[in-house]
Amino acid sequence: MKILIVDDFSTMRRIIKNLLRDLGFTNTHEADDGSTALPMLRGGDFDFLVTDWNMPGMTGIDLLKEVRADQKLVSLPVLMVTAEAKRDQIIEAAQAGVNGYVVKPFTAQVLKEKIDKIFERVNN
C-alpha cells in the first residue's frame, strides 16, 4: 500500500511515518503542503492520503477538496491529522469528504484505530 503523508513540519511527517511503519505500512512518501502533494497524487498510484490542515501554500482542506473534485482521486481514502479542533472545521472536513479525523496530539493507538476503520469501510 502506497501512502502519502502531507505536513509542513518534517518532525510530524517522521512521527507519522514511524507509526505507519510499526503498523506494517512501509511504502510511505512525503510532501510539505497541498500544492506539492497534488501533483504527486495525480502522478502516482497512491492508496491512502494522510494530511495536516494548517500548511502554507495549499492547506489540507483545500487539498481534500481538490482530491474529491478529481475524477481519478475521488475515492482515495483521506485521513486528516491536525491540531485544528473547531467544531465548524471538523464539520467542514466531513462535508468535504474526509474519511477520518485525528486531532493532535494523538496516540499510536488512535491512529491505528482510525486507519483500521477507514480500510474496514473501504473494503466493504
Partner 1 sequence: MGNPASAREDEKFMALLQESANQLVDKLQNNEYENASDIIHRLLEARDAHIFNSVGQLTRGLHNAIVNFNVDADVTTNPPEVKNSEIRDASDRLQYVLDLTQAAADKTMDKVEAAAPIAMNLGQEAHRLKDEWKKLKRREMSKEQFKELYSSIDDFLDQMGEGTDLLNRHLQEIILEQGFQDLTGQVLKKVIGLITDVESELVNLMRIAGQVEEVTGLASDEDNKKEETDAIKAEGPAMHADKRDDVVSGQDDVDDLLSSLGF
Instruction: Report, in Å, the least distance between residue 43 CB and partner 1.
Output: 26
Q: CA-to-CA distance for 30 and 34, rounded, in angstroms?
A: 11
Q: Which residue in 48, 65, 101, 115 binds partner 1 (CB under 8 A)?
A: 101
Q: Which residue in 23, 91, 108, 122 binds partner 1 (CB under 8 A)?
A: 91
Which three cell numbers, joined as nine digits, stand for 81? 491529522
Does the footprint of partner 1 cover residue 10 (CB under 8 A)?
A: yes
Does the footprint of partner 1 cover residue 15 (CB under 8 A)?
A: yes
Cβ-based burial of 104 (10 A; exposed 0-12, middle 13-18, buried ≥19):
middle
Q: Which residue in 24, 45, 71, 88 binds partner 1 (CB under 8 A)?
A: 88
Instruction: Report, in Å, the least distance between residue 110 CB and partner 1.
Output: 5
Going by C-beta distance under 8 Å and a sequence separation of 6 or more, which residues neighbour residue 86?
A: none
